[in-house]
Amino acid sequence: MAEVVRTACTRDCPDACAILAHVESGRVVRIQGDPEHPVTRGFLCQRTSRYLERHNDPERLRTPLVASGSGFRRIGWNEALNLAVRRLREIRDRYGPASILHYRSGGSLGIVKHVVDHFFARFGPVSGKRGDICSGGGDAAQEADFGLSDSHDLLDLLHSRQIFLWGKNPYVSNVHLVPVLREAKERGAGIVLVDPVRHRTAELADVYLQPRPGGDLALASGVARTLFEKGWTDPEAASYCDGLDGFRALVFSRPLADWARAADVAPVEIVELARRLAERPAAILVGWGMQRRGHGGAIVRALDALSAVSGNLGIPGGGVSFYFQRRGAFDVSTLDSRAARRLCEPLLGREILDARDPEIRAVWITAANPVAMLPDSATVARALETREFVVVVDTHLTDTARRASLVLPTNSMLEADDLVGAYGNHWIHAVRPAVPRGEGVRSDLEIVSALADRLGLGREFGRSPREWKRVFMQRAEAAGISLEDVERGGAKNPFAGNVLFADRRFPTPTGRVRLMTELPSELPGEQGYPLYLLSNSTAPAQCSQWSGPRPRGEVEATCHPDAAPDCREGDVVRIESPIGAMRARLVLDPRQRRDLVLVPKGGRFDEGACANALVPARTTDIGEGAAYLDARVRIVRAPP
């Protein structure tokens, strides 16, 4: 008899889908999107539709591994946990807790994962990270401008007359936005796409602009200038914006033709964007890729300003949406989040190598593959290889896990017991194990509970996942949404409204929007490396996690024929940057810009197929994000 278990997707994805897992004789035989869920609408993305292959993958780790010679030796859980406790305690007691670094990333967005941070705060506090490789620049921009970063309800887009997809590829990285866009379009909304990379979403758009990578700051300035010149700004704007004169002066500092040239678009295209933005209500959906640049924060600030001066803030169908507060419904305030010090995430490799007083001697890695996913992979790899003790908790032997002293195998998402909130809509869900976790694996919570038990760290670590969920749901329960509600198919975050800033009051020091009034200084070029390396999300992969069979050989690199003049379609090429290289198979596409090459954002470092081997470690202008997409490269023919 098949049983259907309701759960939710914990992957680092804006959608947080409601999943129905069909279980027969203790095995998950099929997963599907919940047809009744208003966002999931019965379908899952390409990568998670194939998740069963990852769950059942013969390469999944089933037993702890300890480094031995140049490889690993299998050990039992008891031995593994005792070893971890002994080494962590020795290093903490001898060199101080700051000599241990805990690094957690987006392998699972489950809220119960915060208990791992809590454990390391109580055991130490140990060193942690600061900044945010994913959204640091944009978060800081919206916090500066509005006092917080959040969004209108997803379905509020059905009230928009114009929808701007500014640096977004929802067909790949936000698939449950696509049906909403289609519906809005059927109701007459215009769709504008701004993206230097030509991709499938362009087919959905009425207007498509293909600016220079990072040209958005100039583009937005030109649009704002046009709004002022044509008298299309909101006459009330001065009543809720600080810095209006300064922003106006900024956008008038150059003529429209200059802004157009800097953005590499035509002046008429700028005027068309301004016209559509003035056709209120217009919603701007800000992608995440674009703010992973040296000027990433300034770009998002410019889009915030566009929405403000065009009168689109706080009205149904308007807004400038970058992020939905996925943790907003959950109460994690009882958890300890202290750190002895914080290392800058985008620069992590160098920061580990350079840390002093004390040096970093041990690293514990939770739900992350920093060797493949952080900038400057080689330095991250070296930083880990040169530590005394590195523990990696993962389902697979990743580029990072291969550098561990101890690898602890963990559960898949279909065995997870957690809570999750979306960052592309306001829904929250319970994650429930469709099947019990396999014998050989332990959840992150079980692992830290076992460590805490051995260390005598207190009874709270003995709580079950459900007991933790009750704690985290307390605030939502008080607002009328119970754990049982979210277990029955999810619920909307009770603290999120449909329209953000509807009263046009902002949680800034003055209660008003703070407009940007200065342009950042020019970014340096990279002599001899004419192409931008755009390492974007791809449909079959979740960052470095592929679905289906293990990829082998070269990744695909797509560019305009003029960007690789001596090469032909299908050639194996070397893509080189000042710090590294990768091999790739060339796909030529005359619709792309001539100044960029497109590769997958994930990858396999040890196989020479990883974009981050080429990406220098640099921070964004604000928020300590990672400027991944400013990496410059050249394409050369690979020796046979």
Based on the shown chain and the rule CB under 6 A, indicate whether residue 44 belongs to the binding site for ligand SF4.
Answer: yes
Give the closest residue to 50 by CA, choosing from 80, 65, 28, 82: 28
* Burial class of 356 by CB neighbour count within 10 A (0 to 12, 13 to 18, 19+): exposed
CB of 399 to ligand MGD, least distance (A): 9
CB of 15 to Mo ion, least distance (A): 13
- Three-state DSSP at 102 gives strand
Based on the shown chain and the rule CB under 6 A, indicate whether residue 395 belongs to the binding site for ligand MGD.
Answer: yes
Which residues pair with residue 534 across a beta bridge? 598
Question: How far apart are alpha carbons 59 and 49 in whole angstroms?
Answer: 19
Q: Where are any strands of DSSP class E within 572-639?
A: 572-576, 581-588, 596-600, 603-604, 609-610, 632-637
CB of 89 to ligand SF4, least distance (A): 38
CB of 19 to ligand SF4, least distance (A): 7
Question: How far apart are alpha carbons 353 and 384 in whole angstroms?
Answer: 9
Based on the shown chain and the rule CB under 6 A, indicate whether residue 543 belongs to the binding site for ligand SF4.
Answer: no
CB 503 within 8 A of CB 239: no
Binding-residue pattern over the window 529 to 568 for Mo ion, x denoting contact by CB under 5 A: ----------------------------------------
Based on the shown chain and the rule CB under 6 A, indicate whether residue 335 belongs to the binding site for ligand MGD.
Answer: no
Based on the shown chain and the rule CB under 6 A, indicate whether residue 175 belongs to the binding site for ligand SF4.
Answer: yes
Question: How far apart are alpha carbons 55 and 160 in whole angstroms?
Answer: 40
Tally of CA atoms within 13 A in the half-sphere of 290 that contains its CB: 31
Question: How far apart are alpha carbons 47 and 42 in whole angstroms?
Answer: 15
Q: Where are any strands of DSSP class E within 461-595?
A: 491-492, 513-514, 531-536, 541-542, 545-546, 555-559, 572-576, 581-588
Based on the shown chain and the rule CB under 6 A, indicate whether residue 125 belongs to the binding site for ligand MGD.
Answer: no
Counting residues that bind ligand SF4 (by CB under 6 A) gives 11
Question: How far apart are alpha carbons 16 and 297 in whole angstroms?
Answer: 26
Give the closest residue to 92 by CA, choosing from 441, 340, 347, 318: 340
Q: Show the tokens assigned to 120.
A: 């390391």
Nearest residue (CB) to ligand SF4, 40 versus 535: 40
Task: Pick out residues in 131-190 that bind ligand MGD (CB under 6 A).
Answer: 133-134, 166-169, 172-173
Binding-residue pattern over the window 257 to 286 for ligand SF4, x denoting contact by CB under 6 A: ------------------------------
CB of 617 to ligand MGD, least distance (A): 11
Q: Which region among 40-48, 68-76, 213-221, 231-239 touches ligand SF4 (by CB under 6 A)?
A: 40-48
- Give, in degrees to the nearest 5, the angle at Cα 300 between 299 and 306: 95
Could you say which DSSP state residue 109 is in?
-
Task: Pick out residues in 121-180 that bind Mo ion (CB under 5 A).
Answer: 134
Q: Pick the binder of ligand SF4 from 7, 9, 140, 221 (CB under 6 A).
A: 9
CB of 15 to ligand SF4, least distance (A): 4
CB of 109 to ligand SF4, least distance (A): 9
Q: Show the tokens assigned to 16.
A: 């947080």
CB of 501 to Mo ion, least distance (A): 25
Based on the shown chain and the rule CB under 5 A, indicate whether residue 626 belongs to the binding site for Mo ion.
Answer: no
Which among ligand SF4, ligand MGD, Mo ion, none contacts residue 139 (Cβ within 5 to 8 A by kind)? none
Task: Pick out residues in 495-534 that bind ligand MGD (CB under 6 A).
Answer: 534
Q: Pick the binder of ligand SF4 from 15, 415, 624, 630 (CB under 6 A).
A: 15
Give the closest residue to 464 by CA, choosing from 479, 484, 443, 494: 443
CA 303 to chain centre: 19
Based on the shown chain and the rule CB under 6 A, indicate whether residue 45 belongs to the binding site for ligand SF4.
Answer: yes
Q: What sections of 130-253 are H helices per DSSP?
A: 136-146, 170-173, 178-186, 216-230, 237-240, 244-251
CB 305 within 8 A of CB 220: yes
Binding-residue pattern over the window 352 to 391 for ligand MGD, x denoting contact by CB under 6 A: --------------xxxxx--x------------------
CB 265 within 8 A of CB 219: yes
Q: Pick the binder of ligand SF4 from 48, 162, 221, 619 (CB under 6 A).
A: 48
In whole angstroms, how far apart are CA 367 and each of 10, 88, 117, 196, 485? 11, 19, 12, 31, 28
* Residues near 19 by beta carbon (within 8 Å), at least 6 away in sequence: 6, 7, 8, 9, 31, 32, 33, 34, 40, 44, 48
Question: How far apart are alpha carbons 84 and 452 in whole angstroms?
Answer: 11
Q: Pick the binder of ligand SF4 from 6, 7, 11, 121 (CB under 6 A).
A: 11
Based on the shown chain and the rule CB under 6 A, indicate whether residue 615 belongs to the binding site for ligand MGD.
Answer: yes
CB of 504 to ligand MGD, least distance (A): 27
Q: Pick the binder of ligand SF4 from 6, 7, 16, 135 (CB under 6 A).
A: 16
- Rounded to the nearest 10 degrees, the angle between the axes of helix 216-230 and helix 244-251 is 110
Nearest residue (CB) to ligand SF4, 321 versus 379: 321
Nearest residue (CB) to ligand SF4, 48 versus 149: 48
CB of 415 to ligand SF4, least distance (A): 16
CB of 327 to ligand SF4, least distance (A): 16
Q: Where are any strands of DSSP class E within 139-195?
A: 162-166, 190-194
CB of 422 to ligand SF4, least distance (A): 8
Based on the shown chain and the rule CB under 6 A, indicate whether residue 418 belongs to the binding site for ligand SF4.
Answer: no
φ and ψ of 184, to 5 deg:
-60, -40
Task: Pick out residues in 406-445 that bind ligand MGD (CB under 6 A).
Answer: 410, 444
Q: Which region among 12-20, 73-81, 137-145, 363-371 touches ligand SF4 (by CB under 6 A)?
A: 12-20
CB of 291 to ligand MGD, least distance (A): 9
Based on the shown chain and the rule CB under 6 A, indicate whether residue 220 belongs to the binding site for ligand MGD.
Answer: no
* Residues near 223 by beta carbon (within 8 Å), at least 6 away in sequence: 270, 273, 274, 277, 306
Q: Judging by DSSP bridges, how do beta strands 555-559 and 128-130 pair with one another?
A: unpaired
In whole angstroms, how far apart are CA 18 and each of 42, 43, 174? 9, 9, 15
CB of 218 to ligand SF4, least distance (A): 33
Q: Pick the binder of ligand MGD from 6, 514, 601, 618 (CB under 6 A).
A: 601
| Interaction site with Mo ion (CB under 5 A) | 134
Q: Which residues bind ligand MGD (CB under 6 A)?
A: 12-14, 47, 105-108, 133-134, 166-169, 172-173, 194-197, 199, 213-214, 216, 287-290, 292-293, 366-370, 373, 393-396, 398, 410, 444, 534-539, 541-545, 601-602, 611-612, 615, 628-629
* Residues engaged in binding ligand SF4 (CB under 6 A): 9, 11, 13, 15-17, 44-45, 47-48, 175
